[in-house]
Amino acid sequence: MTTAISAHTGLLGVLGDPVRHSLSPAMHNAALAALGLDWVYLALPAPADRLAAVVQGLEAMGCRGLSVTIPHKQAVAALCRQLSPLAQRVGAVNTLVPLEGGGWFGTNTDVEGFLAPLRHEPWQGKRAVVLGCGGSARAVVAGLVELQLTSITVVGRRPNALEAFATGCADWAPQLRTQQWQPGSLGPLLASADLVVNTTPTGMASASNPAAAGACPLSDAELLALKAGSTAYDLIYVPRPTRFLQQAAARGCRSIDGLTMLVHQGAAALRLWTGRNDVPVETMTAALETALATPG
């Protein structure tokens, strides 16, 4: 187990703004120690107006790989020498891998992370509703297309954003449709859904706004429309569970939070950086759970 940083220690990190709240260092450093690698993973603040300089500087320093989080997942794509077909389809990059000869290969492991808790059951012929139409929703839809659902409905409050979302997915998501999200309007849609995924930040707690944990993306009437036996999936993992998942469980739904997605997207990235398949997912999960339980 690696216990000290030396002059030979390899560097990994996560770029974001802000990024000091990230739990990824706890998860990845636990995995690196378990793998016996003399590498360290750091949170690396990167203001938007300095992103290119940061990415180029880390390449010059021999950085072994980078995670990318809000708000840089789209902008960083333009800084990559190569993009995976998935990253091009999703329109977002969350993982950078150094290329032999220089430059970065950009890909997206959020899709693999999202799919991890869903792959063990058949989804062909089923229906999904996705709450929100931002970048995370693009990764979710890409995953749902892979699962071969019959119907995927993305709901959002901004007509222009919904239109852009539909246009961006038109070539690879033929079962996608969009619907404007009017207050309390989703009851009939939710009543027929086998899977409901929240990609919005509503209900996410933070140190600066702990009261946000009491919020829910769905109204009380919409929650009552959820079908018993369906699956509710919230990309949020603070708090655990969110109010959305609490209410969904009370309706007889299976609930999944975002911790599994965080672990598995990180594990997929670590496999790319290290070339190893023995990434310790259980160790990463335990490290995250410990970090979440630790005040501050």
The residues annotated with a catalytic role in the active site are 73
Is residue 62 a contact partner of residue 11, using CB atoms and an 8 Å limit?
A: yes
Name the helix (H) or strand (E) containing 264. Answer: helix 259-274
Say which residues have a Cβ less than 8 Å from residue 96's Cβ, sequence separation at least 6.
55, 65, 66, 67, 68, 76, 80, 104, 105, 106
The residue among 14, 60, 10 whose CA lies nearest residue 32 is 10
Distance separating alpha carbons of residues 64 and 105, to the nearest angstrom = 12
Instruction: Give me 113's structure tokens.
Output: 């992370």
Instruction: Give me 53's structure tokens.
Output: 């300089």
Is residue 136 a contact partner of residue 111, using CB atoms and an 8 Å limit?
A: no
Prior bond to 201 cis, omega within 30?
A: no
Beta bridge mates, 180: 156
Question: Which residue bears the tokens 């360290």?
Answer: 40
Instruction: Give me 21's structure tokens.
Output: 């709240």
DSSP string of 82-119, one letter each residue: EE-HHHHHHT---EEEEPTTSSEEEE--HHHHHHTTTT
Distance separating alpha carbons of residues 37 and 215, to the nearest angstrom = 41
Distance separating alpha carbons of residues 273 and 285, to the nearest angstrom = 19
